[in-house]
């Protein structure tokens, strides 16, 4: 198949970027999308031109490194699929394919399709953890956890931190990402104790990082490659209200 | 260095009390004292993140570096199947002793008893720690932790979180690390490539890094340096490792005097999605856990072009079940891989290329139901279908072995210290516990045992004998020289301006290493590799092309800096494999096999760890650590 690519090129966050056209011919539909970009980059290097920068590592849909907009959608057209797991068979001969970086105030462009998502780390380090030192843990099976809760916690914990939810949201909200961590820990007895403090701090950090407000459009969940559910957001909101109430009562 | 004798520094005493007794003798520092020391950790995968968090909890000031943008991106995230622990929750006769023995035997009697016993012993603490952090392991309906079985053993001791165990464990370690970042004890340097080690008076005191965003070369000083930089499977170009996994940190340490142990012990994993074309950039693993319910087979007839469904039962060869009635589809990885190669070499391979075998779930689906299979392996099945466009619920998977893990690595003693004082190596980057073959679900266990429970004690002991020095020493001559050397390397590479893309050279290297130092090796092939690798090196230094500037983000330059070290490592691997005139575990020398085509070990001459020293111009020098077995009897491995 032949394809016409339009790719956002920007040498750094300090410079302006613009779209460039590239054409690739005889692309094997069975290669992955990133392998297609490898081919383009090899060609550019051969022509002594700067290859397109993009983040990727595992190419198995789990590390969360990859991610950019394909024809206006984070990670492209296929549901529940990261860019690295997308294959060229999802496109047609002579398709126009537009590639742009995730755009959000809190994700600066580093170069071309690569963006800075360190704000996610800061949300986690504000309190996305259980406070237990190495060696302090008791026997693992002393606290049985109902299978349903454990399974649900797992589903929330499956977030790969890719940032697609933010890119999909018109307000650039990080609510899905943050609520996935809040829910994961709220659903487990180990995480329950610190829950109020956790939710307060994580929400405050999220706001301080400049992410927008959640208006419940559901775009995040629809585009999330790991299908992180919107119920996480509802749970965060409940936990947040509980926490606010708790500190209100304490103050009184 | 010639008279240098390798000593494991393992304490004397009874195997099962050794570590606990030893720990009591180690020097301790109070948090106030620890606060005076600075620790550099390269790598924040499972091993690095767990060590960083634990040392920070003890009061040390941690400077952690990674080329990733976040610790959560490390290659550990991709581990699928699970983590072993001798909890014996299933009451199936498991014990620390049994895990110890399985690991020693799985490694084909080429690992150190003391280390392996300690690993088995600590395995139980790991599970406790992870559960306390909130790692959502799979559970049974009663709420207790679930287990499954993995290759090479006959008990169920593998803890798992669907097919995403590595992800959940790494997120656990990352959360512990984040907590210490929040507490101000850890400074994380993302997108920093470590390009050299700095030694002062023979001790590791710092590193040289390149900031991947702006190309800035900097040095950093500390009281101790820990490498947790993972494995080097990507020397083969195609492997199941993440794209950026590399050997640079280890290789730079090697060039500065750290011995490299058993470099040719590389694991080929039997169940991966086969190579499909020339653009293939990496290979995808289908977790070993699939062999619990999947049956491996090929057509009995050679060059059989019928579809799998059209081949009747009696014309199928379930060769693992046939050859190994006791273990069947659950033989260890090296055995399963070699047998797959054998049937394919014999013309019984399937698929377009004939280089694949079937992994069939029909029986399991029939007996246990599709829902059960979906619960257990859903994400793996989806991944398979997504990549191959075939539905594994309907037609059997096609699989073939691929490079997956490296047992070899920096030589370390019982304290996990390399031959450079003050330089420690943990996780996959060291050679320590898996001998000539690693059992499934044991790498996560080792990475976390090293990081949470071993290194923090031994490093504290080391530091207690060092005067803390918080001053910045980067203007000392050793640091300045190391920076200059790195800058010169980069300048040299940037000025080649040839016409080969880095990947082209890497692919060529990979092919030589896979063909000659891969699943089966022989003298002729190894000599061929030793002749041809220097030519690839020359090609690299004459002909590679790096566009753009080294003062910006430059992903081609990053790859080139890694490839130059892979090329040198490849040559050492060939030397190591050639020198070991025996077959053991994953190291299979065609010349040394039993009449049943099993590995033929030679304990009389090769019961040692081969630790190699670097010589700038000339052959590497070999140092041997003789392995002593006091608690297990050396046996020929049998899985029949
Ligand atoms: C697909 C797959 C599935 C697996 N499944 C299992 C399983 O089910 N069970 C099991 O036990 N094992 C499994 N393994 C093996 C296991 O995942 C690894 O051995 C283990 O995770 C390695 O952890 P680590 O911390 O040593 O290294 P890694 O996780 O590889 O981390 C390396 C770290 O070092 C950093 N780094 C490296 N070099 C440099 C440098 N020069 N400068 C700066 N930073 C550097 C990286 O950024 C990263 O942070 C699997 C492996 C693969 C490939
Ligand atoms: S919630 Fe989904 S889209 Fe958002 S970071 Fe996590 S995995 Fe990515
Ligand atoms: S490259 Fe890791 S998720 Fe895509």
Name the residue among A60, A132, A136 with its Cβ closest to that of B78.
A60
Instruction: Map tokens 């090479």 to a residue.
Output: B152
Q: How confident is the model at residue B378 (pLDDT cuts 50, 70, 90)?
A: confident
pLDDT at A5 over 80: yes
Q: How confident is the model at residue A252 (pLDDT cuts 50, 70, 90)?
A: low
- Locate the chain B residue with the closest alpha carbon to A191: B134
The 10 Å Cβ neighbour count of residue A195 is: 17
CA-based end-to-end distance of chain A? 69
Those residues with Cβ within 8 angstroms of residue B243's Cβ, 6 or more apart along the chain or in another chain = A56, A57, A58, A59, B234, B281, B282
Q: How far is residue B51's CA from residue B458's CA, in Å, rounded to a whole number?
A: 11
Last residue in a domain, options A62, A91, A111? A111
Q: Which atom of ligand 3 is nearest to the CA of A56?
A: 1
CA separation (Å) from B184 to B53, B60, B61, B177? 11, 11, 8, 11
What's the A60 CA to ligand 3 centre distance in angstroms?
Answer: 6
Q: What is the pLDDT of residue A145?
A: 97
What's the B43 CA to ligand 3 centre distance in angstroms?
Answer: 18
Residues A84 and A131 in one domain: no
Task: Check which CATH number belongs to the domain holding A159 and give it.
Answer: 1.10.1060.10
Please give the helix or strand (H or E) that residue B250 lies within, else none.
helix B248-255
Q: Which of A123, A209, A222, A225 to mutate to test the pocket of ligand 2 (most atoms within 8 A of CB)?
A: A225
Mark out the alpha helices in B58-95 (DSSP H runs).
none
Closest residue by Cα to atom 3, ligand 3, is A61
Q: How far is residue B555's CA from residue B562's CA, in Å, rounded to a whole number?
A: 11
Query: Mean pLDDT of all residues in chain B?
Result: 95
Q: How confident is the model at residue B472 (pLDDT cuts 50, 70, 90)?
A: confident
Residues A244 and A219 in one domain: yes
Q: How far is residue A40's CA from residue A47's CA, in Å, rounded to a whole number?
A: 11
Residues A202 and A127 in one domain: yes
Residues A94 and A11 in one domain: yes
- Tell me the CATH number of domain B496-600, given options 2.40.30.30, 3.30.1360.120, 1.10.101.10, 1.20.58.100: 1.20.58.100
Instruction: State mean pLDDT over A180-209.
Output: 96
Model pLDDT for residues B112-162, shown as the tens digit of each residue = 999 999 999 999 999 999 999 999 999 999 999 999 888 778 899 999 998
| Domain(s) of CATH 3.90.700.10: residues in chain B | 270-404
Contact A58 B389 (CB under 8 A): no
pTM above 0.95, yes or no: yes
Instruction: State mean pLDDT over B522-530.
Output: 98
Last residue in a domain, options A93, A111, A129? A111
Residues A123 and A243 in one domain: yes
Residues A127 and A107 in one domain: no
Q: Strands of B409-410's sheet, edge to edge?
A: B409-410, B260-261, B608-613, B621-626
Which tokens in the block code for residue B637? 């491995």
Contact B132 A34 (CB under 8 A): no
Q: Which of A56, A161, A224, A225 to mutate to test the pocket of ligand 3 (most atoms within 8 A of CB)?
A: A56
Residues A154 and A95 in one domain: no
Q: How far is residue B90's CA from residue B99's CA, in Å, rounded to a whole number?
A: 14
Residues A194 and A241 in one domain: yes
Q: What is the pLDDT of residue B3?
A: 56
- Tell me the CATH number of domain B270-404, given options 3.90.700.10, 3.30.1460.30, 3.40.190.10, 3.10.450.50: 3.90.700.10
A161: closest CA among B286, B71, B211?
A: B71
Nearest chain B CA: its distance from A54 CA (Å) = 9
Closest residue by Cα to atom 7, ligand 2, is A159
ipTM given for this complex:
0.98
pLDDT at B1 over 60: no
Please report the number of interchain residue pairs, chain A to chain B, with beta-carbon separation below 8 angstroms.
215
Q: What is the pLDDT of residue A53?
A: 98
The domain in which residue A52 lies consists of 3-111
Instruction: State mean pLDDT over A65-82.
Output: 97
Q: What is the pLDDT of residue B81?
A: 86
Question: Which of A9, A32, A58, A59 is the best residue to mutate to test the B interface, defined by the most B CB atoms within 10 Å of its own CB?
Answer: A58
Instruction: State mean pLDDT over B608-622.
Output: 95
- Locate the chain B residue with the closest alpha carbon to A154: B136
Those residues with Cβ within 8 angstroms of residue B442's Cβ, 6 or more apart along the chain or in another chain = B84, B103, B106, B119, B433, B434
Residues A34 and A73 in one domain: yes
Q: How far is residue A143's CA from residue B271's CA, in Å, rounded to a whole number?
A: 36
What's the A159 CA to ligand 2 centre distance in angstroms?
Answer: 5
The 10 Å Cβ neighbour count of residue A170 is: 9
Contacts of B133 in chain A (CB under 8 A): 129-130, 132, 190
Nearest chain B CA: its distance from A244 CA (Å) = 22
Residues A198 and A159 in one domain: yes
The 10 Å Cβ neighbour count of residue B324 is: 18
Contact B142 A144 (CB under 8 A): yes
Last residue in a domain, options A76, A111, A146? A111
Instruction: State mean pLDDT over A20-29.
Output: 97
Q: Is B178 on the interface with A (CB under 8 A)?
A: yes
Q: How confident is the model at residue B334 (pLDDT cuts 50, 70, 90)?
A: confident
Model pLDDT for residues A135-180, shown as the tens digit of each residue = 999 999 999 999 999 999 999 999 999 999 999 999 999 999 999 9
Asked if residues A179 and A186 have their Cβ atoms less than 8 Å apart, the reply is no
| Domain(s) of CATH 1.20.58.100: residues in chain B | 496-600
Q: What is the pLDDT of residue B638?
A: 81
Q: How far is residue B568's CA from residue B575's CA, in Å, rounded to a whole number?
A: 11
Q: How many domains does chain A fold into? A: 2
């Amino acid at each position: 198949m032949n394809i016409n690519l339009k790719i956002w090129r920007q040498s750094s966050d300090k410079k302006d970027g613009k779209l460039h056209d590239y054409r690739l011919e005889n692309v094997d539909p069975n290669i992955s999308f990133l392998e297609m970009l490898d081919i383009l980059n090899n060609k550019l290097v051969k022509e002594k031109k700067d290859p397109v920068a993009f983040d990727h590592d595992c190419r198995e849909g789990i590390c969360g490194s990859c991610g950019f907009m394909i024809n206006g959608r984070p990670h492209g057209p296929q549901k529940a699929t990261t860019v690295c797991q997308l294959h060229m068979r999802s496109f047609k001969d002579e398709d126009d394919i537009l590639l742009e970086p995730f755009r959000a105030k809190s994700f600066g462009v580093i170069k071309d399709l690569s963006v800075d998502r360190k704000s996610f780390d800061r949300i986690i380090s504000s309190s996305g953890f259980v406070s237990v030192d190495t060696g302090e843990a008791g026997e693992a099976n002393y606290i049985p956890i109902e299978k349903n809760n454990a399974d649900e916690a797992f589903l929330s914990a499956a977030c790969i931190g890719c940032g697609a939810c933010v890119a999909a949201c018109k307000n650039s909200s990080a609510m899905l990402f943050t609520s996935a961590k809040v829910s994961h820990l709220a659903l487990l007895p180990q995480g329950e104790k610190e829950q109020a403090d956790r939710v307060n701090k994580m929400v405050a950090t999220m706001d301080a990082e400049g992410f927008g407000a959640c208006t419940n459009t559901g775009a995040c969940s629809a585009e999330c490659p790991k299908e992180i559910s919107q119920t996480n957001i509802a749970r965060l909101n409940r936990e947040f209200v509980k926490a606010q109430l708790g500190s209100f009562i304490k103050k009184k | 260095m010639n008279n240098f004798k390798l000593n494991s520094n393992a304490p004397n005493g009874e195997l099962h009390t050794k570590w606990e007794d030893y720990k009591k003798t180690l020097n301790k520092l109070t948090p106030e004292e620890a606060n005076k020391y600075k620790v550099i950790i390269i790598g924040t995968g499972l091993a690095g993140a767990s060590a960083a968090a634990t040392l920070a909890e003890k009061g040390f000031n941690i400077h952690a570096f990674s080329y990733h943008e976040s610790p959560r991106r490390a290659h550990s995230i991709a581990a699928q199947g699970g983590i072993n622990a001798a909890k014996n929750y299933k009451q199936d006769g498991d014990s620390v002793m049994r895990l110890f023995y399985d690991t020693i035997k799985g490694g084909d009697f080429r690992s150190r008893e003391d280390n392996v016993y300690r690993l088995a012993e600590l395995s139980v603490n790991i599970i406790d720690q992870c559960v306390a952090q909130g790692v959502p392991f799979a559970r049974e309906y009663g709420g207790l932790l679930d287990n499954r079985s993995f290759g090479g053993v006959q008990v169920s001791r593998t803890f798992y979180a669907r097919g995403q165990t590595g992800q959940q464990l790494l997120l656990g370690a990352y959360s512990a690390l984040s907590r210490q970042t929040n507490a101000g004890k850890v400074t994380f340097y993302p997108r920093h490539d470590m390009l050299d080690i700095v030694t002062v008076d023979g001790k590791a005191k710092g590193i040289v890094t390149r900031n991947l965003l702006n190309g800035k070369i900097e040095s950093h000083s500390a009281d101790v340096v820990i490498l947790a930089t993972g494995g080097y499977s990507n020397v083969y170009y195609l492997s199941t490792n993440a794209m950026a996994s590399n050997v640079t940190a280890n290789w730079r340490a090697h060039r500065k005097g750290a011995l490299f142990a058993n470099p040719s012990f590389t694991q080929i994993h039997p169940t991966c999605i086969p190579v499909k074309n020339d653009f293939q950039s990496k290979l995808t693993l289908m977790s070993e856990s699939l062999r619990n319910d999947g049956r491996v087979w090929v057509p009995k007839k050679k060059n059989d072009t019928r579809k799998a469904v059209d081949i009747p039962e009696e014309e199928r060869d379930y060769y693992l079940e046939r050859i190994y009635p006791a273990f069947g589809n659950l033989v260890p990885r090296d055995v399963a891989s070699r047998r797959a190669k054998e049937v394919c070499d014999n013309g019984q391979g399937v698929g377009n290329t004939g280089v694949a075998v079937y992994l069939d779930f029909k029986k399991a689906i029939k007996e246990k139901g599709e829902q059960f299979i979906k619960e257990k392996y859903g994400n793996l099945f989806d991944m398979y279908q997504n990549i191959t466009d075939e539905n594994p619920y309907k037609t059997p998977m096609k699989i073939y072995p691929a490079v997956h893990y490296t047992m070899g690595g920096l030589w370390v003693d019982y304290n996990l210290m390399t031959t450079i004082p003050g330089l420690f190596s943990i996780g996959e980057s060291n050679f320590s516990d898996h001998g000539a073959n690693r059992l499934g679900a044991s790498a996560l266990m080792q990475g976390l045992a090293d990081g949470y429970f071993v290194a923090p004690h031994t490093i504290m002991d080391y530091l207690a004998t060092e005067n803390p020095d918080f001053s910045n020493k980067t203007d000392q001559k050793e640091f300045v020289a190391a920076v200059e050397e790195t800058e010169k390397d980069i300048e040299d590479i940037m000025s080649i301006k040839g016409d080969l893309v880095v990947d082209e050279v890497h692919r060529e290297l990979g092919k030589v290493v896979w063909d000659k130092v891969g699943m089966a090796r022989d003298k002729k092939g190894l000599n061929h590799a030793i002749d041809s690798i220097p030519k690839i090196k020359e090609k690299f230094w004459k002909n590679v092309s790096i566009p753009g500037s080294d003062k910006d983000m430059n992903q081609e330059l990053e790859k080139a800096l890694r490839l130059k070290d892979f090329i040198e490592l490849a040559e050492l691997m060939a030397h190591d494999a050639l020198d070991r005139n025996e077959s053991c575990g994953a190291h299979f020398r065609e010349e040394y096999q039993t009449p049943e085509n099993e590995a033929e070990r030679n304990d009389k001459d090769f019961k040692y760890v081969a630790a190699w020293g670097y010589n700038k111009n000339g052959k590497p020098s070999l140092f041997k650590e003789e392995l002593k077995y006091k608690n297990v009897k050396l046996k020929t491995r049998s899985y029949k």
